[in-house]
Structure 1
């Protein structure tokens, strides 16, 4: 029984390259996107958008690492990391941001704990 719980504790949702999802996603665990998602994403943990990942829609999460493309607003309660291959077309609301040279971002950025929590609550409604 404990072995099964250990697997669940480390489980990650995965949208593989070549997979397309049209619709909203809500997850209590981490998610990695290497395919295409069109819709709102709400995750209580971490989101990873891989180099082949593309999202068209708003994302609300605790932390996010972006190597792919996001067209939509991002609401992060802790940290957003934009890797060198990242392309963001939308606004970012976060407590902290990390940007590697080469990352592209078109939009506005609000930083600080109060801005991230306030705007995240608006997005979830």
Structure 2
């Protein structure tokens, strides 16, 4: 029952996205249809919309890739600041280096013990991404 419902939901999402694309691209199609046939204006508007979307996605990926070194350093610095805060004594309880190391070891062990489940969740997330692109394809075509 749930499987069928999820597939119907995908169709409704695709239909909604189709309406959004129509609403967004209609002004461009109307402007282009003054100088060319409406079918060609629609195709060019759709192609323009896809190119703009791909361009924005490329920009975001490129920006993150270029700043990856800086982001990883900032992440490490942030973790170190959390550890320093816990060990500084500004809390109503005291946290020692040994406790912090034990917590980090427990976290690493938990990730190692649950690696299969985490990989399964990552695969499920990848499936969701594929469903999103499928819905986009259904909405566009």
Structure 2-normalised TM-score?
0.20
- Higher RCO (C-alpha 8 Å, min separation 6): 2
Structure possessing the higher radius of gyration over alpha carbons: 2
Structure 1 or 2: more strand by fraction? 1
Structure 1 or 2: more helix by fraction? 2
